[in-house]
Amino acid sequence: MKKLLLIIFIILFALSKPILSDENDIYKKIDLFSEVLDKINKEYVDEVNQSDAMDAAINGVLQSLDPYSAYMSPDSFKNMQTETSGEFGGLGIEVSMEAGVVKVISPIDNSPAEEVGVKAGDYIVKIDDIQVQGKTLSEAVELMRGPVGSDIEITVRRRGERKALIFTITREVIQVASVKSEIKDDKTAYIRLTSFNENSSKQIKNKIKEFKKNKEIKNYILDLRNNPGGLLSQAIKISDYFLENGEIVSTKSKRKYENRKWFAKKGDIINGETMVILINYGSASASEIVAGALQDHKRAILVGESTYGKGSVQSIIPLDNEGAIRLTVSKYFLPSGKSISRVGVNPDIVIAESSDEFRINTDTDNQLEYALKLLNG
């Protein structure tokens, strides 16, 4: 127990030092924390698993910083490391933790969650009969995992809806196809990017090469809706494809020598052809970098709804106990100097989803329909 307390004290000390000017205050807080734990251990009505309590305390410190910093127990860290890229079992949603409940960043295209109507921005408050409040993100994700073919019931709260919504979802193996494309209206190249993985930029480049063989194509649509992000390097490469010069993005960290800027190299892969980018609340992180950079350089018209506002970089830092912490280590800034954290990127033309039956790239997709009309005059 004492060893675990020492770990907590070290974390509290490290995180509190920049905030508390008087080190005596830090040690007073440590004493208070120790006293509270002692009272819980002696007086709480039920038996307390001290290891779980310490994990929760560590996680509480990290989650007080922002929604993306968190503690991973050895088991959770091991599960994260062994997940295969591009294929995994579950519901098909990208999630974060906010205000003690699980928030949906975006559902994956054609996933079980999307099929039943789960939307970006939904708050998952109950998984089967278990309340999410008080759970860590790792614990909540673990509850959503299960055998392929098994059912799970999730209860969500949605902005604008007075009553909770209940969805029954059948777990599946989730296949993630990063890039999809087709020709719309004979002269518009449509490229849908669902994530930024290590092959995304190469796939987009190859798709564009194929499109350029068709002399009828005059316009391009890059669809970043419900794209939760991914690799920064891929966001930079994809932005660079459509820019002749100028800054793409910068990151700022606590240590100034770690601050970085990335710039476009000469050469626009589509030679200045008209371009629309589709965005929504499910567009986050790397998606916001691409959309924001091209908007700042007036290279593309943004259509849809404001993005998520995840403008920060997390590092996975292993710990001696074989667990790890996910810690925010820097923030993104667009060429204009604007931070997208908690603000997002606003579209040039606001087009809200038309109905609850809305599905991306179907007959119900009024945002895509508007983009095509805009490009075709």
Those residues whose C-beta lies under 8 Å from the C-beta of residue 152, and which sit 6 or more positions away, are: 91, 127, 128, 144, 146, 168, 169, 170, 171
**Which pLDDT value is given to residue 244?**
96
Catalytic residue among 73, 106, 285, 312: 285
The answer to whether residues 134 and 195 belong to one domain is no
Q: Is residue 215 part of a domain?
A: yes
Tell whether 124 and 220 lie within a shared domain. Answer: no
Q: Residue 254 falls within a domain, yes or no?
A: yes
Q: Determine the pLDDT at residue 218.
A: 94
Residue 23 has a pLDDT of: 65
Residues 164 and 185 in one domain: no
Listed residues 156, 175, 194: the one ending a domain: 175
Sequential pLDDT tens for the chain (377 residues): 444 454 555 555 455 555 545 667 777 887 888 888 889 888 999 888 888 888 888 888 888 898 888 888 888 787 766 543 444 558 989 888 887 789 999 898 888 999 999 999 999 999 999 999 878 787 888 888 888 889 999 999 998 899 999 999 999 887 777 899 999 999 999 999 999 988 899 999 999 999 999 999 999 999 999 999 988 999 999 999 999 999 999 999 988 888 999 999 999 999 999 999 999 999 999 999 999 999 999 999 999 999 999 999 888 899 999 999 989 999 999 999 999 998 999 999 999 998 878 989 999 999 999 999 999 87
Q: What is the DSSP string of 91-148?
A: --EEEEEETTEEEEEEEPTT-HHHHHT--TT-EEEEETTEE-TT--HHHHHHHH---T
Q: Are residues 224 and 264 both part of a single domain?
A: yes
In a domain, 119, yes or no: yes
Annotated catalytic residue within 66, 109, 122, 296: 296
Q: For the domain that residue 291 is a member of, what is the CATH number?
A: 3.90.226.10
Instruction: Please report the pLDDT score of residue 355 as a whole number.
Output: 82
Domain boundary among 132, 152, 175: 175
Q: Is residue 321 part of a domain?
A: no
- Give pLDDT, residue 138: 77
Measure the CA–CA gap between 373 and 375, rounded to whole angstroms.
5
My answer on whether 158 and 186 are in the same domain is: no
Of 42, 372, 83, give the one whose Cα is nearest residue 34. Answer: 42
218 and 152, same structural domain?
no
Contact 248, 240 (CB under 8 A): yes
Query: Cα separations (Å) of 53 from 8, 38, 61, 279?
Result: 11, 12, 13, 41
- The pLDDT score that the predictor gives to residue 350 is 98
Q: Is residue 54 part of a domain?
A: no
The dihedral through the CA atoms of 13, 18, 19, 23 has a sign that is positive
Residue 323 lies in a domain: no
In a domain, 64, yes or no: no
From 175, 206, 227, the end of a domain falls on 175
Place of tokens 């449509």: 190
Q: Do 201 and 342 reside in the same domain of the chain?
A: yes
Clarify whether 285 is annotated catalytic: yes
Domain-located, residue 289: yes
Question: Which tokens go with 152?
Answer: 């799970």
The token pair that represents 268 in the structure block: 């626009």
Backbone angles phi, psi at 102, to 5 degrees: -85, 125
Q: Is 296 a catalytic residue?
A: yes
Q: What is the dihedral of CA 102, 125, 136, 27, to 10 degrees?
A: 100
Considering the domain architecture, whether residues 366 and 297 belong to the same structural domain is answered as yes
**Res 135: pLDDT:** 83
> 215 and 148, same structural domain?
no
Given this model, what pLDDT does residue 22 score? 62
Number of independent structural domains in the chain: 3
Question: In CATH, what number is assigned to the domain containing residue 88?
Answer: 2.30.42.10
The single residue of 69, 184, 310, 312 carrying the catalytic annotation is 310
Alpha-carbon distance 73 to 324, whole Å?
A: 7
Residue 105 sits in which domain range? 83-175
On whether both 211 and 270 belong to a single domain, the answer is yes
Whether residue 269 sits in one domain with residue 250: yes
- pLDDT score at 52: 80
Q: Do residues 155 and 10 both lie within one domain?
A: no
**310: annotated active-site residue:** yes
